[in-house]
C-alpha cells in the first residue's frame, strides 16, 4: 500500500474517529432473489450504524456473505464503502459463529494465509478465507479477510511489518464502529503482481493458523487468486467498474442520504458513461491535479469524510478533530487532469457551525492536510455520478484503471 493511500485513509481517520457510543442498525435489507446491478449506498443512513455526530459523512452498504457451497449465508450491513482499497475485510464478531466456522481457510505450503491490512492508521490482522459474496443476488467467489486482532500476529522480527504492534487497534466491530470495509477501488486485488513474486508486509504463512499462542507467521508470496479481491471484478457480468450516485446535499446538511452503487460501466441501460470525462490514475491510483498554482497528487475516496487539502483557512476543533472553520464559506477550485482538464469548485464551511446539531451529512466539511496532497472525500460525490474503472477492464471511456465524472 503506497504512501498516498495510507494518507488518504488517515484523512478518513481524522474525521471518523470512534465515537463514544455505538448502536447497530438491525434493519438490514434482505437480499433480493432477482439479480440486478444495483447495491444500496447510504451516508449515515439505512445501511449504516447509528452514530453520534462525532462521525459525520460515513458511506456504507450491505452485502451477503456465504460459505463456499452457500449452505450458510448472512447479510452484513454497515460495510464502509472505500474507492481506494480493494476487497472485503470483516470483523469476526460481525459473522454468525456457524458461518465463520464453515468458511474455508486459504492454505499455504506450511499453514494458513494471514493478512495484515493497514486502515485509518490502524493495522488489522486476520486469516484469509474463500467466501461467496452476493451483490444483490449476483455471485462472486473471492478471498476475504476476517479481522481478529486477538489472535497471534507476526513477531517483531519482521521489522517492517505493520502488524507487529496492535496496541489501540479496535478488536471488534463495536470498537471500530463499523462491521467491515468494502473496497471497490480501481485495482482488482489489494496487492497485485508484486506480492506474487516477492514476500510482502501484507501476507503471511502461519503454521498453526492464527492460534492464540505458539504460531510464528512469516512473510510469504501469494498468487493473485488467493489475494483479497474486489468481488465486483469477479462477477460474471457488470464487472468492469462501478458508479457511485448520491443526491445533492444542501449547505446546512441533512440527517442522512440514500443513493446507489451501480455495477458495471456501459454494460446496462442505467450505467452509460455518456457525458463523463476520463481521468487516468497514476500507479498508486492517485490522480494529478493543480490547485492555487501548485501541482498535487490527489485521491478520490468515498471513505474519507471531507475535502482534505492544504490551506491557510482558519481552523477549529470539534470533538477533538481539526476542521477548517472560515467565518464565511470559502470556494476553492482545483484543475483535474484527464481526457480534458476538468475544473472542480467546492465550498468549505465553518465546521463549528455545521456540526453539533441533528444533521450527520455535510457537503462543506474540510480538513487541513499535513502533507502536500489532496483527498476528495465523500462530499465530492454528492450530486454527481462518480465512475471507478477497474484495471485491465475497458468501457467506452477506455482502459482501466480510471475515474470519471
pLDDT at position 55 is 77
From 186, 210, 234, the end of a domain falls on 234
- Comparing 322 with 32, the larger pLDDT belongs to 322
Segments forming the whole domain that contains residue 306 = 243-404
Cell of 35: 439479480
Mean pLDDT for 306-333 is 93
Domain's final residue, options 217, 234, 251 = 234
Residue-wise over 227-245: b if at least 16 C-beta within 10 A, else e? bbbbbbbbbeebbbbbbbb
- For residues 51 and 124, state if they share a domain: yes
User: Is 0.85 topped by the overall pTM?
Assistant: yes
Chain mean pLDDT for the chain: 86
**Of the candidates 234, 254, 270, which is a domain's last residue?**
234
Domains in the chain, number: 2
User: CA torsion angle for 100, 102, 105, 110 (degrees, to 10)?
Assistant: 110
Give, in degrees to the nearest 5, the angle at Cα 45 between 42 and 49: 105
CATH of the domain at 373: 2.40.70
Residue found by looking up cell 492517485 in the block: 286
pLDDT of 111: 85
> Would you say residue 221 has pLDDT above 70?
yes
Residue from 263, 259, 240, 289 nearest 397 by CA: 240
Do both 198 and 249 map to the same domain? no
Residues 298, 376, single domain; the answer is yes
* Domain match, 215 and 274 both: no
Let me know whether 175 and 74 are in one domain: yes
User: Same structural domain for residues 130 and 248?
Assistant: no
Same domain, 249 and 214: no
Would you say 58 and 51 are in contact if contact means Cβ atoms under 8 Å apart?
Answer: yes
Of 388, 400, 384, nearest to 344 by C-alpha is 384
Note whether 252 and 326 are same-domain residues: yes
Q: Is residue 165 pLDDT above 70, yes or no?
A: no
How confident is the model at residue 17, as a pLDDT? 40
The reply to whether 274 and 214 lie within a common domain is no
Using the 8-state DSSP alphabet, how is residue 303 labeled? T
Q: What pLDDT digit, counting tens, does each position of 69-106 carry?
A: 999 999 999 999 999 999 999 999 999 999 999 999 99
Distance CA 388, CA 243 (A): 6
Backbone angles phi, psi at 229, to 5 degrees: -125, 140
Query: 276 with 214, same domain?
Result: no
Contacts of 57 (CB under 8 A, 6+ apart): 15, 43, 44, 305, 306, 360, 361, 362, 365, 377, 378, 379
Could you tell me the pLDDT band of residue 54, with boundaries at 50, 70 and 90? low
Same domain for 204 and 343, yes or no, is no
Written as nine digits, the cell of 277 is 470525462
State whether 220 and 264 are in the same domain.
Answer: no
Amino acid at each position: 500500500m503506497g504512501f498516498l493511500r495510507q494518507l488518504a485513509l488517515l484523512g478518513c481517520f481524522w474525521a471518523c474517529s470512534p465515537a463514544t457510543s455505538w448502536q447497530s442498525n438491525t434493519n438490514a435489507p434482505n437480499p433480493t432473489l432477482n439479480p440486478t446491478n444495483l447495491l444500496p449506498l447510504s451516508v449515515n443512513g439505512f445501511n449504516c450504524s447509528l452514530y453520534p455526530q462525532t462521525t459525520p459523512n460515513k458511506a456504507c452498504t450491505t452485502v451477503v456473505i456465504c460459505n463456499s457451497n452457500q449452505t450458510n449465508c448472512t447479510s452484513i450491513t454497515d460495510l464502509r464503502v472505500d474507492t481506494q482499497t480493494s476487497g472485503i475485510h470483516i470483523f469476526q464478531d460481525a459473522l454468525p459463529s456457524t458461518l465463520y466456522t464453515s468458511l474455508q481457510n486459504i492454505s499455504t505450503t506450511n499453514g494458513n494465509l494471514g493478512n495484515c491490512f493497514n486502515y485509518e492508521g490502524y493495522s488489522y490482522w486476520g486469516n484469509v478465507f474463500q467466501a461467496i459474496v452476493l451483490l444483490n443476488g449476483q455471485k462472486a467467489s473471492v478471498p476475504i479477510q476476517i479481522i481478529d486482532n486477538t489472535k497471534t500476529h507476526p513477531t517483531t522480527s519482521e521489522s517492517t511489518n505493520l502488524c507487529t504492534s496492535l496496541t489501540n487497534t479496535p478488536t471488534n466491530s463495536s470498537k471500530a464502529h463499523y462491521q467491515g470495509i468494502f473496497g471497490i477501488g480501481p485495482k482488482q486485488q489489494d496487492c497485485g503482481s508484486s506480492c506474487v513474486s516477492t514476500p510482502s508486509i501484507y501476507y503471511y504463512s502461519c503454521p498453526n493458523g492464527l492460534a492464540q499462542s505458539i504460531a510464528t507467521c512469516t512473510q510469504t508470496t501469494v498468487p493473485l487468486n488467493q489475494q483479497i479481491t474486489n468481488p465486483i471484478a469477479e462477477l460474471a457480468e457488470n464487472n468492469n467498474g462501478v458508479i457511485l450516485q448520491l443526491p445533492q446535499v444542501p449547505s446546512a446538511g441533512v440527517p442522512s442520504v440514500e443513493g446507489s452503487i451501480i455495477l458495471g460501466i456501459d454494460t446496462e441501460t442505467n450505467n452509460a458513461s455518456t457525458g463523463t470525462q476520463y481521468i487516468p490514475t497514476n500507479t498508486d491510483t492517485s490522480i494529478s491535479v493543480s490547485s492555487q498554482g501548485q501541482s498535487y497528487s490527489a485521491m478520490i475516496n468515498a471513505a474519507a469524510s471531507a475535502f482534505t487539502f492544504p490551506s491557510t483557512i482558519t481552523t477549529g476543533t470539534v470533538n477533538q478533530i481539526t476542521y477548517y472553520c472560515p467565518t464565511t464559506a470559502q470556494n476553492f477550485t482545483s484543475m483535474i487532469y484527464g481526457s480534458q482538464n476538468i475544473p472542480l469548485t467546492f465550498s468549505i464551511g465553518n465546521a463549528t457551525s455545521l456540526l453539533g446539531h441533528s444533521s450527520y451529512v455535510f457537503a462543506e466539511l474540510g480538513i487541513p492536510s499535513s502533507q502536500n496532497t489532496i483527498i476528495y472525500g465523500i462530499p465530492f460525490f454528492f450530486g454527481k455520478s462518480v465512475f471507478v474503472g477497474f484495471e485491465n477492464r475497458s468501457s467506452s471511456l477506455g482502459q482501466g484503471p480510471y475515474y470519471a465524472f
